[in-house]
Structure 1
Amino acid sequence: MKPDILLDSASMEPHNLAMRKRSSKPMQANEPGEPTVEPTVSEAQPETSKQAEKNPAAVALGRLGGRKGGLARAKKLSRQRRTEIARKAALARWARWAKRAKKRRTS
């Protein structure tokens, strides 16, 4: 038997006859509704600026507080308290990992 005959006979199997062929075109999610939806959406939304302007003084003040905050907190904490915070964070990470592992085992 020739190889192409084998392929032809394989494609004639009863379960293959009922299966749909794949489309050669890539599927796009909103292709059917595109002509009707696009004009209505573009008309309904007025042109607005993408980013609201911020008060420069408020931005500078917030940045200043953010820069000071980490250093001030680090100076204020004792070594023992830093260790407690780190231990609590590590336990939370391990608990989250254990919860995910348990979920995977039961699935």
Structure 2
Amino acid sequence: MANKDRPRDVNQLAKLIADIATGEESNDQPENTKNPAAVALGRLGGLKGGKARASSLTPEQRKEIAQRAAAKRWKRD
């Protein structure tokens, strides 16, 4: 995963790399401050969410949702 603090501009990134190499800037990465239990719990909900929603819909509702999604996906501007 890319670091959000790094500049996207090539010249600015090159300067940052040079500063890190010469010791003018530190290359410290922020430590992970997320609670592992909360991460695991959120992942559990995410894994079963789509299946639970699909099982609660009727075949007609699923068909309508799929048709709308296809129409959006293939829409020409």
**Shorter-chain TM band:** 0.5 to 0.7
| Larger-gyration structure (1/2) | 1
| Higher relative contact order, structure no. (Cα contacts within 8 Å, ≥ 6 residues apart) | 2
The aligned residue for residue 86 of structure 1 is: 66
1:50 Cα shift? 5.4
Identity %: 48
The aligned residue for residue 63 of structure 1 is: 43
1:76 Cα shift? 1.0
> 1 CA distance for matches of 2:44 and 2:71?
33
| Unaligned ranges ≥5, structure 1 | 1-28, 100-107
> 2 CA distance for matches of 1:57 and 1:79?
36
Q: What is the CA RMSD across the aligned residues, in angstroms?
A: 2.7
| Unaligned ranges ≥5, structure 2 | 1-9
Q: Spell out structure 1 runs of 4+ moving beyond 3 A.
A: none
Q: What TM-score do you get using the length of structure 1 for normalisation? A: 0.47
The aligned residue for residue 27 of structure 2 is: 47
Q: Which moved more, 1:46-55 or 1:84-93?
A: 46-55
Matched pairs, number? 62
Alignment of 1:1-107 (within 5 A): 38=18, 41-42=19-20, 43-44=24-25, 46-49=26-29, 52-95=32-75, 98-99=76-77
1:47 Cα shift? 3.4
Q: What TM-score do you get using the length of structure 2 for normalisation? A: 0.61
CA distance 1:55–1:85, change in 2 (3 Å): same
